[in-house]
Amino acid sequence: MIVVKQISFLDTYPLRIQVLRNGIAENYQFAEDQNGDTYHFGAFQNKKLVGIATLIKNIYNHQPQIIAYQLRGMAVEENLQDSGIGTLILKYIDEFLSNNDIDLVWCNARIKAIDFYKKMGYATKGDPFDIPKIGLHFIMYKEL
CATH number assigned to the domain comprising residue 96: 3.40.630.30
Report pLDDT digits (tens) over 61-97: 988 899 999 999 999 999 999 999 999 999 999 999 9
Is residue 22 pLDDT above 80, yes or no? no
Q: Which residues pair with 137 in a beta bridge?
A: 110, 129
Of the pLDDT bands very low, low, confident and very high (cuts 50, 70, 90), residue 139 is very high
Measured between alpha carbons, how far apart are the two ends of the chain, in Å? 27
Half-sphere exposure of 83 (CA within 13 A, CB side): 14
32 — pLDDT class (breaks 50, 70, 90):
very high
- What integer pLDDT is reported at residue 8 of this predicted model? 98
Mean confidence (pLDDT) of the chain = 94
Backbone conformation region of residue 51, classed left if phi is above 0, alpha if psi is from -120 to 50, else beta: beta
Lowest-confidence range among 11-25, 42-56, 101-115? 11-25
Q: Please name which of 40, 46, 31, 32 lies closest in space to residue 11, comparing C-alpha atoms.
A: 40
Q: Determine the structural domain holding residue 10 and report its residue range.
A: 2-143
Average pLDDT rounded to a whole number, residues 117-124: 97
Cβ pair 79, 104 in contact under 8 A: no
pLDDT at 21 over 90: no
Of 7-16, 21-30, 117-126, the least confident: 21-30
Instruction: Tell me what pLDDT residue 132 has.
Output: 84
What's the rounded Cα separation, in Å, for the pair 87 and 126?
24
Query: Could you give the angle at the alpha carbon of 29 between the alpha carbons of 28 and 33, nearest 5°?
Result: 140
pLDDT of residue 27: 82
Please report the sign of the dihedral spanned by the C-alpha atoms of residue 117, residue 40, residue 83, residue 90: negative
- In whole angstroms, give the CA distance from residue 48 to residue 122: 28
Using CB atoms within 10 Å of the CB of residue 21, give its burial: 0 to 12 exposed, 13 to 18 middle, 19+ buried. Answer: middle
Number of domains present in the structure of the chain: 1
Average the pLDDT over 56-65 and give the result: 92
Region 10-33: mean pLDDT is 90
